[in-house]
Chain A
Amino acid sequence: MNIVVCIKQVPDTTEVRLDPKTGTLIREGVPSIINPDDKSGLEAALMLKDETDAHVTVLTMGPPQAEKALLEALSMGADEGILLTDRAFAGADTWATSSTLAAAIKNLDYDLIIAGRQAIDGDTAQVGPQIAEHLKIPQVSYVANLEKDGNSLILKRVFEDGYHKVKVKMPCLITTLSEMNSPRYMSVKGIFDANREKEIKKWTLEDIDVNREHIGLKGSPTKVKKSFTKGAKAAGEKFEVEPSEAAQIIVNKLKEKHVI
């Protein structure tokens, strides 16, 4: 069984501080981590590897320093790492990113593709599903549990108010939730092997078959028109009164503002 896990290196948002003057993120000195949903996807793949001897390939697109995320994945037990890195890929939105990743995956043998639900620095939850569309394979998103059943997977797909249990034939793509498991630590041997014996393949535009109109900034239909810091709201007024009086206060306030 061949599993491809798509991961993203993200700033550890729990360590991010805001510049009080500009209101923007201070990225300097912020450690980079594997996106939590992706890391749980990797753990799910490694658990399948423990059970079934699966071959786990980890794929990421990013700048050269994203290699660190792949090294960590290899140190946890993944077999192979591929870094898609090229200036032509830079500035990609979710569409261009998924086009690039899908093109890279076409070079690989796969039964299962795992992507995290969404990245903590973007929260779009689009890249995984788009890859499945590019590859024309079934997809199940928001997976909180998986079991292998022959050539199929039995998955728990989570909704806000419940879950579905679905069976899907491989090859397929799933997106995983960080709540699904606690990822293992790297192991000492894993770290030594990853640094000394395992190779991280670096693929550029030359290595994948992709329409050049669909990658990088140029291939990104999403344009950021403007970015701004959300202004701080003043603390509201607080009343602790009976409901009937509360309703009256609300009506009066809305009238004051000419809403009603």
Chain B
Amino acid sequence: MDFRLPNEHKMLRQMFTEFTEKEVKPLAEEVDEKEMFPVETVKKLAKYGFMGIPFPKEYGGQGGDNLAYAMAVEELSKSCATTGVIVSAHTSLCATPIYEFGTEEQKQKYLIPLAKGDNLGAFGLTEPNAGTDAAGQQTKAELVGDYYILNGSKIFITNAGYADVYIIMAMTDKSKGVKGISAFIVEKDFEGFSVGKKEAKMGIKGSATCELIFENCKVPKENLLGKIGQGFKIAMKTLDGGRIGIAAQALGISQGAIDETVSYVKERKQFGRAISKFQNTQFELADMQTKTEAARLLVYSAARAKDNKERYSDKAAMAKLFTAETAMEVTTKAVQLHGGYGYTREYPVERMMRDAKITEIYEGTSEVQKMVIAGSLLR
């Protein structure tokens, strides 16, 4: 097993870091404070290829792989978890299912502008009464002539309002339970589609999280993604991949918090010396970095498994579970090591701690990850 990164990935890391330092980090505080979706940054991300990393060039992508994609989300999230999740939701939850399940026509029409970053993508599965129990979908789709007519609503949708294309799950045959769910590609301008209330959140405040409303929304029947009744399978496969992105986001938050703490403890003096000289500081930092490095290997290993077309859903679940919990622990310790200043908005670690929490919840809570991992053990 080779743990060395290929040269191209080392160069990618250098480029992602440089981009993040210059373009993302200076805005991170404002993005959080003003709950500002970083529109201009997304344009720059598109220009340099961040929005289509793992897709082939013939579909507008960068011809890269999932490891490169995970590293991009990691580096962005070191400075701004909002920016990280914009790329992750777009890539994993919208462009990927079109790439994996779409027809050639759908790929030409939707994947190319998504992968180029000309369009932004989103994904809608969660409903007020269908969270972890995703099978309880109430949004309905009915075939009338050449259109599916969608009625219902979705909540907590990342990139909502800014996205051009949405992958939407809806019940086409309630009698069949999860096998009655189908997936659709919905454009923002489709008749009967609207974006509802925006959530006020604890963290990732610049990320737009809104309700989606479908009132007799007309979706052309050729926009059915995959086969009829395949929606739940598509959603679960999509979330398997999405977990690599969110794990990478959590990993970035962890490392970002450690990097901030390392510079702080060297500067901060108490009892006449830098607090980095105290063994408690050293031991805490050692634990934080060790867990983060272990998390990194899990994330990269899941990404590599997906690249190699191996089974990766359990690996992705383990990566997300461990990385999210690590991010929460590491950011909490980072705030503690900053002391009173850590609790203020003068330092970024309080933002990182707030941002870390969501990684234990979205795209499958930590408890769901445990279900997936145990499920693969007890098959």
Mark out the residues of chain B between 4 and 38 whose CB falls within 8 Å of any chain A CB in the assembled complex.
6-8, 11-12, 14-15, 18-19
- Our pick among B15, B47, B68 for the contact of A75 (Cβ within 8 Å) is B15
Q: Do A188 and B62 have beta carbons less than 8 Å apart? A: yes
Encode contact with A along B48-72: 1 for CB under 8 Å, 0 otherwise. 1110010001000011100010001
Say if the beta carbon of A195 comes within 8 Å of chain B: yes
Q: Do A192 and B18 have beta carbons less than 8 Å apart? A: no
CB distance from A109 to the nearest CB of B (A): 28
What residues of B have a CB within 8 angstroms of the CB of A72 in the complex? 11
Q: Do B8 and A196 have beta carbons less than 8 Å apart? A: yes
Q: Given contacts A191-B12, A196-B8, is CB(A185)–CB(B18) below 8 Å?
A: yes
A189 to B11, CA, bound (A): 12
Q: Do A195 and B11 have beta carbons less than 8 Å apart? A: yes
Q: Do B49 and A188 have beta carbons less than 8 Å apart? A: yes
Interface centre among A75, A188, A193, A194 (most CB of B within 10 A): A188
Q: Given contacts A195-B7, A195-B8, A196-B8, is CB(A189)–CB(B63) below 8 Å?
A: yes
What residues of A have a CB within 8 angstroms of the CB of B48 in the complex? 185-188
What residues of A have a CB within 8 angstroms of the CB of B7 in the complex? 71, 195
Mark out the residues of chain A between 173 and 217 whose CB falls within 8 Å of any chain B CB in the assembled complex.
185-196
A194 to B6, CA, bound (A): 13
Given A75-B11, A185-B18, 13 more pairs with CB closer than 8 A: A71-B7, A185-B15, A185-B48, A188-B53, A188-B68, A188-B72, A189-B62, A190-B49, A191-B12, A192-B68, A194-B8, A196-B8, A196-B63
- Our pick among B6, B19, B49, B72 for the contact of A189 (Cβ within 8 Å) is B49
A186 to B57, CA, bound (A): 17
Q: Do B57 and A188 have beta carbons less than 8 Å apart? A: no
Q: Given contacts A71-B11, A195-B11, is CB(A188)–CB(B50) below 8 Å?
A: yes
| Closest B residue by C-beta to A31 | B14
CB distance from B155 to the nearest CB of A (A): 33
A187 to B7, CA, bound (A): 15
What is the predominant secondary structure among interface residues of chain B facing chain A?
helix
Q: Count the A-B residue pairs with Cβ separation under 8 angstroms: how many?
A: 52
What is the predominant secondary structure among interface residues of chain A facing chain B?
helix
A72 to B13, CA, bound (A): 12
A-B contact pairs, 28 of them (CB 8 A): A71-B7, A72-B11, A75-B11, A75-B15, A185-B18, A185-B19, A185-B48, A186-B14, A186-B15, A186-B48, A187-B62, A188-B15, A188-B48, A188-B53, A188-B62, A188-B64, A189-B57, A189-B62, A189-B63, A191-B11, A192-B62, A192-B63, A192-B68, A193-B63, A194-B8, A194-B11, A195-B7, A196-B8
What residues of A have a CB within 8 angstroms of the CB of B63 in the complex? 189, 192-193, 196
A185 to B17, CA, bound (A): 11
A21 to B63, CA, bound (A): 50
A189 to B134, CA, bound (A): 36
Interface centre among B6, B50, B53, B63 (most CB of A within 10 A): B63
Query: Interface size on B (CB < 8 Å)?
Result: 20
Chain A interface residues (CB < 8 Å from chain B): 71-72, 75, 185-196
What residues of B have a CB within 8 angstroms of the CB of A189 in the complex? 49, 57, 62-64
Q: Do B49 and A187 have beta carbons less than 8 Å apart? A: yes
| Closest A residue by C-beta to B72 | A188
What residues of A have a CB within 8 angstroms of the CB of B49 in the complex? 187-190
What residues of A have a CB within 8 angstroms of the CB of B64 in the complex? 188-189, 192
**6 A-B pairs closest in CB distance:** A188-B49, A195-B8, A188-B62, A189-B62, A186-B15, A187-B49
What residues of B have a CB within 8 angstroms of the CB of A75 in the complex? 11, 15
CB distance from A77 to the nearest CB of B (A): 11
CB distance from B339 to the nearest CB of A (A): 30
A51 to B18, CA, bound (A): 26
Q: Do A191 and B8 have beta carbons less than 8 Å apart? A: yes
A185 to B68, CA, bound (A): 16
CB distance from B25 to the nearest CB of A (A): 14
A195 to B7, CA, bound (A): 8
Q: Do A192 and B15 have beta carbons less than 8 Å apart? A: no
CB distance from B61 to the nearest CB of A (A): 8
A193 to B57, CA, bound (A): 11
Interface centre among A71, A187, A194 (most CB of B within 10 A): A187
CB distance from A43 to the nearest CB of B (A): 14
A194 to B11, CA, bound (A): 10
What residues of A have a CB within 8 angstroms of the CB of B53 in the complex? 188
What residues of B have a CB within 8 angstroms of the CB of A185 in the complex? 15, 18-19, 48
CB distance from B7 to the nearest CB of A (A): 6
A71 to B50, CA, bound (A): 19
A133 to B366, CA, bound (A): 68
| Closest B residue by C-beta to A195 | B8
A140 to B72, CA, bound (A): 41
| Closest A residue by C-beta to B54 | A188
A75 to B9, CA, bound (A): 12
A212 to B213, CA, bound (A): 77
CB distance from A209 to the nearest CB of B (A): 33
Encode contact with A along B204-229: 1 for CB under 8 Å, 0 otherwise. 00000000000000000000000000
A196 to B57, CA, bound (A): 13
A82 to B274, CA, bound (A): 49
What residues of A have a CB within 8 angstroms of the CB of B8 in the complex? 191-192, 194-196
CB distance from A189 to the nearest CB of B (A): 4
A192 to B64, CA, bound (A): 7
CB distance from A155 to the nearest CB of B (A): 28
| Closest B residue by C-beta to A182 | B22
| Closest A residue by C-beta to B57 | A189
CB distance from A72 to the nearest CB of B (A): 7
What residues of A have a CB within 8 angstroms of the CB of B72 in the complex? 188
CB distance from B209 to the nearest CB of A (A): 27
